[in-house]
């Protein structure tokens, strides 16, 4: 396989785009032509196909890369996108081990989730719209990971943000979903500001440096030009490098849901479950980790920025793990565990063991996608009820889901042999064994990570025990479940029947929420409900992901040698003092196994009898800390009230104080002044023509006098 044959990468990139166009332009027509059932199944397969094709091509290229042992990175250019004298940005892709690894994750897990979604979304009205967004998402994500320059990466970066917005708000009739979509979009924009600023800073710094002048290649943002430039230009500018690293990390925080900007991710669970699995667990949220790996040169040169990355990662891991204890919604538990696991990845990246971040991205994609898809199967069979307190003993009804989810649970808990164990081990080993991050913060993050690993095992035991073991709690539910606010909504709903506003054009948010039509599949969960196993299209991805979660970690580390695969030549700056894989003198293996065991045992003790009394429906019986944690420690409320209400108040103050006072005051004042002046001047306008004539005459006489005087004294006029 020669260099030319790498050109098939374009088919892999554009296949999902073609799928997107087909779904968008022809989807409705085909479903209408073939009938509801057949049309949907045809469109479902047509949605899976492009992603599977991309995966196949990606696998072929990866195989060629592994066979050829090419250490040189292949760059393929399609056309010049922006071509100026000072900067050129081609539309180009980069084929190297990192981009191929990410591509296989995105398309592989993506294809499985597409397949799953053909079953999960089968009853949805907007079936083709869903796959339109999903295919577009895969295209954007591929653009992001395959890009050879930061500008193209940014297209993909924004594109996945857009798709995330569209898919979170997929059931847009529910105002809460629309709000969650807005929240995700806006919070991501905050991160994007950091990414763009980092790009600008890189360009200006490189262009203005003396060693750059005279260089012929003006592809400033392309990695193969950018990285050597960073290495030569910024070596003696530690402040700039740290600033670039921090700005990039702000972008990574937005996309990868790290602490200051994490709070959009749990709300993003409003989307359909396959979306949660694909975007908000397996692929999109790993973009930040990918970015740090891609630009690892910057972080290698800046121990301070690395320390910030590690600390933010460790803090987020702890914070989100604690919050997960207070959640009763199965998807929310998984969402916070995602945030926590992303924190782990940043601990590894911050400590300089960049490959371990990607390793955990990979294994996390396996087991977290599996957990979400399993949760989706549970939700699907429990009449779309997502509350853990209604579940129990589901292992009897859904054996395959149970077995696969058990594998994922053991993997995330870090039980030896499962995928998560290896990657977590790599992260903690890298963190504890390296001195790269400033002020020993890498090691501190590593120790904190070890503690969080214990918490992870604990809260995942809680979730699994409450779902699959214990009593069948939905049988205790009242015959027709009605919560207080449901009745309330119902009343409001009926009052609006008489109202002459069938489309809700003039309704408030609350009225719109009350008005929403119940989705046809939203039956209430009652005591006579019998859960059933999910359809085959949903079970098959579960099994594949189960196998991957079981064996993925071992294969990647010990068969595929992921570390040498990702960084065949080692790191650029840290090469001198090699990055240690394992700390000296610390029995890491024993410690991490101990942490996992401790967490699982603690979970078993607390939850062996099913739902404890003090975690039941009555929130007053909860311990104050758990209530506080369940409420995100008040962080979300504080930020939202500060951002939204505070922003509103600032806006109001600016409007009423500055705009209406100062700006309007100046404008109106000028008008008033002109009016008063014209009143004064108009006194001259008597309307008597003779008066005007007299004034004119006097003027003429005055001018004549001047001329005569000037001429008589001999001066010039």
Partner 1 sequence: MVPMFAYVALAAFMFSVGACGVVFRKNPIVVFMCIELMLNSVNLAFLTFSRYAPWALAGGEARLPAHMGGQMMVIFVMAVAAAEVAVGLGIIMAIFRLRHEIDIDEMNLLSG
**Minimum CB separation from partner 1 for residue 677, in Å?**
12
**Minimum CB separation from partner 1 for residue 717, in Å?**
20
Six-digit token string for 13 = 């990139």
Residue list 279-338, contact with partner 1 (CB under 8 A): none
Select from 675, 684, 716, 717 the one that contacts partner 1 (CB under 8 A): 684
Q: How many residues bind partner 1 (CB under 8 A)?
A: 13
Nearer to partner 1, 644 or 697 (CB): 697
Nearer to partner 1, 439 or 696 (CB): 696
**Minimum CB separation from partner 1 for residue 686, in Å?**
6
**DSSP letter assigned to residue 279:** I
Instruction: List Cβ neighbours of 100 (8 Å cut-off, separation of 6 or more).
Output: 58, 61, 62, 65
Nearer to partner 1, 483 or 690 (CB): 690
Nearer to partner 1, 232 or 685 (CB): 685
**Minimum CB separation from partner 1 for residue 690, in Å?**
5
Number of neighbours of residue 113 by Cβ within 10 angstroms: 30
Nearer to partner 1, 216 or 690 (CB): 690
Helices (H), 147-222: 150-168, 175-207
Helix and strand tally (H, E) in the chain? 28, 2
Nearer to partner 1, 689 or 716 (CB): 689
Six-digit token string for 332 = 């929310």
* Cα-only R_g, the chain: 32
Task: Considering only the stretches 7-15, 382-390, 581-589, 678-686, report the one whose residues sit in contact with partner 1 under the rule CB under 8 A.
Answer: 678-686
Task: Considering only the stretches 214-222, 367-375, 436-444, 684-692, report the one whose residues sit in contact with partner 1 under the rule CB under 8 A.
Answer: 684-692
- The DSSP secondary structure of 662-685, one letter per residue, reads IIHHHHHHHHHHHHHHHHHHGGG-
Nearer to partner 1, 480 or 683 (CB): 683
Nearer to partner 1, 77 or 686 (CB): 686
**DSSP letter assigned to residue 385:** -
Nearer to partner 1, 495 or 685 (CB): 685
Contact 539/400 with Cβ under 8 angstroms?
yes
Contact 459/351 with Cβ under 8 angstroms?
no
d(CA 183, CA 188): 8
Residue list 685-704, contact with partner 1 (CB under 8 A): 685-690, 693-694, 697
Select from 498, 683, 716, 717 the one that contacts partner 1 (CB under 8 A): 683
**Minimum CB separation from partner 1 for residue 713, in Å?**
22
CA 93 from chain center: how many Å? 22
Residue list 388-427, contact with partner 1 (CB under 8 A): none
**Minimum CB separation from partner 1 for residue 663, in Å?**
31
Does residue 503 interact with partner 1 by CB under 8 A?
no
**Minimum CB separation from partner 1 for residue 714, in Å?**
22
d(CA 367, CA 122): 24
Task: Considering only the stretches 318-326, 528-536, 586-594, 679-687, report the one whose residues sit in contact with partner 1 under the rule CB under 8 A.
Answer: 679-687
Nearer to partner 1, 25 or 693 (CB): 693
Whats the size of the chain, residue-wise? 717
**Minimum CB separation from partner 1 for residue 716, in Å?**
23
d(CA 316, CA 69): 38
Task: Considering only the stretches 170-178, 199-207, 213-221, 683-691, report the one whose residues sit in contact with partner 1 under the rule CB under 8 A.
Answer: 683-691
Nearer to partner 1, 651 or 699 (CB): 699
Strands (E), 299-439: none
Six-digit token string for 524 = 């209430």
Number of neighbours of residue 120 by Cβ within 10 angstroms: 25
Phi–psi pair at 106, nearest 5 degrees: -65, -50
Does residue 681 interact with partner 1 by CB under 8 A?
yes
Half-sphere exposure of 692 (CA within 13 A, CB side): 6
- String of contacts with partner 1 for each residue 632-671, x by CB under 8 A: ----------------------------------------
Nearer to partner 1, 84 or 683 (CB): 683
d(CA 141, CA 156): 6
**Minimum CB separation from partner 1 for residue 693, in Å?**
6
**Minimum CB separation from partner 1 for residue 694, in Å?**
5
Nearer to partner 1, 67 or 682 (CB): 682
Tell me the β-bridge partners of 89.
82
**DSSP letter assigned to residue 329:** B
Does residue 711 interact with partner 1 by CB under 8 A?
no
Nearer to partner 1, 475 or 676 (CB): 676
B/e letters for 357-393, b = 16+ CB within 10 Å, e = fewer, are: bbbbbbbbbbbbbbbbbbbbbbbbbbbebbbbbbbbb
**Minimum CB separation from partner 1 for residue 652, in Å?**
44
CA 110 from chain center: how many Å? 16
Contact 79/152 with Cβ under 8 angstroms?
no
**Minimum CB separation from partner 1 for residue 691, in Å?**
8
Instruction: List Cβ neighbours of 408 (8 Å cut-off, separation of 6 or more).
Output: 366, 367, 368, 370, 371, 374, 545, 546, 549
Task: Considering only the stretches 49-57, 193-201, 591-599, 682-690, report the one whose residues sit in contact with partner 1 under the rule CB under 8 A.
Answer: 682-690
Half-sphere exposure of 418 (CA within 13 A, CB side): 21
CA 142 from chain center: how many Å? 15
| Residues at the contact surface with partner 1, assessed by CB under 8 A | 681-690, 693-694, 697
């Amino acid at each position: 396989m020669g260099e030319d044959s790498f050109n098939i990468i374009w088919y892999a990139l554009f296949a999902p785009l073609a799928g997107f166009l087909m779904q968008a332009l022809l989807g409705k027509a085909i479903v209408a032509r073939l009938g509801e059932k057949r049309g949907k199944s045809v469109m479902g397969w047509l949605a899976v196909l492009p992603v599977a094709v991309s995966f196949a091509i990606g696998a072929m290229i990866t195989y060629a890369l592994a066979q050829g042992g090419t250490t040189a990175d292949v760059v393929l250019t399609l056309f010049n996108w922006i071509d100026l004298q000072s900067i050129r940005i081609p539309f180009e892709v980069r084929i190297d081990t990192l981009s191929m690894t990410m591509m296989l994750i995105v398309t592989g897990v993506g294809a499985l989730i597409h397949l799953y979604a053909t079953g999960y979304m089968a009853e949805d009205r907007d079936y083709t719209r869903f796959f339109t967004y999903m295919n577009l998402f895969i295209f954007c994500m591929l653009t992001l990971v395959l890009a050879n320059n930061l500008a193209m990466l940014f297209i993909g970066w924004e594109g996945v943000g857009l798709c995330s917005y569209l898919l979170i708000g997929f059931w847009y009739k529910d105002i809460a979903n629309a709000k969650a979509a807005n929240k995700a979009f806006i919070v991501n924009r905050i991160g994007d500001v950091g990414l763009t600023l980092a790009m600008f800073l890189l360009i200006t710094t490189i262009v203005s440096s003396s060693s750059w002048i005279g260089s012929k290649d003006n592809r400033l943002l392309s990695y193969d030009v950018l990285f050597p430039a960073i290495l030569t230009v910024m070596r003696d500018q530690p402040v700039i490098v740290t600033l670039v690293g921090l700005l990039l990390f702000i972008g990574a925080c937005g996309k990868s849901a790290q602490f200051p900007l994490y709070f959009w991710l749990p709300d993003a669970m409003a989307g359909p479950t396959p979306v949660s699995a694909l975007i908000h667990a397996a692929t999109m949220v790993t973009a930040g980790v990918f970015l740090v790996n891609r630009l690892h040169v910057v972080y290698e040169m800046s121990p301070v920025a690395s320390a910030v990355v590690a600390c933010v990662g460790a803090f987020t891991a702890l914070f989100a793990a604690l919050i997960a204890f207070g959640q009763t919604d199965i998807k929310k538990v998984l969402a916070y565990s995602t945030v926590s696991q992303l924190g782990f990845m940043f601990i590894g990246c911050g400590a300089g063991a960049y490959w371990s971040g990607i390793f955990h991205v990979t294994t996390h994609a396996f087991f977290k996608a599996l957990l979400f898809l399993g949760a989706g199967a549970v939700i699907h069979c429990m009449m779309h009820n997502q509350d853990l307190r209604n579940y129990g003993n589901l292992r009897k009804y859904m054996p395959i889901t149970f077995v696969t989810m058990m594998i994922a649970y053991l993997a995330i808990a870090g039980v030896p042999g499962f995928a998560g164990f290896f990657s977590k081990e790599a992260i903690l080993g890298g963190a504890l064994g390296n001195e790269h991050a400033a002020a020993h913060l890498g090691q501190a993050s590593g120790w904190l990570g070890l503690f969080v690993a214990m918490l992870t095992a604990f809260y995942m035991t809680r979730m699994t025990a409450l779902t699959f073991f214990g009593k069948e709690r939905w049988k205790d539910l009242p015959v027709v479940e009605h919560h207080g606010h449901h009745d309330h909504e119902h009343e409001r709903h009926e009052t609006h029947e008489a109202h002459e506003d069938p489309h809700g054009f003039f309704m408030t948010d609350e009225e719109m929420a009350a008005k929403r039509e119940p989705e046809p599949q939203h039956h209430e969960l009652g005591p006579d409900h019998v859960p059933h196993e999910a359809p085959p299209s949903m079970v098959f991805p579960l099994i594949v992901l189960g196998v991957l979660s079981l064996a993925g970690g071992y294969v990647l580390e010990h068969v595929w040698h992921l570390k040498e695969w990702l960084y065949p030549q080692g790191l650029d700056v840290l090469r001198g003092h090699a990055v240690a894989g394992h700390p000296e003198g610390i029995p890491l293996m024993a410690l991490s196994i101990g942490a996992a065991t401790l967490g699982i045992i603690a979970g078993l003790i607390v939850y062996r009898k099913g739902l404890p009394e003090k975690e039941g429906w009555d929130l007053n019986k909860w311990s104050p800390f758990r209530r506080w944690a369940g409420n995100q420690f008040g962080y979300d409320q504080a930020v939202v009230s500060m951002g939204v209400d505070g922003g509103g108040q600032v806006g109001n103050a600016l409007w009423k104080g500055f705009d209406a006072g100062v700006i309007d005051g100046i404008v109106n004042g000028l008008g008033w002044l002109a009016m008063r002046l014209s009143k004064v001047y108009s006194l001259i306008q008597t309307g008597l023509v003779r008066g005007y004539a007299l004034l004119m005459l006097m003027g003429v006489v005055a001018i004549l006098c001047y001329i005569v005087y000037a001429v008589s004294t001999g001066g010039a006029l």
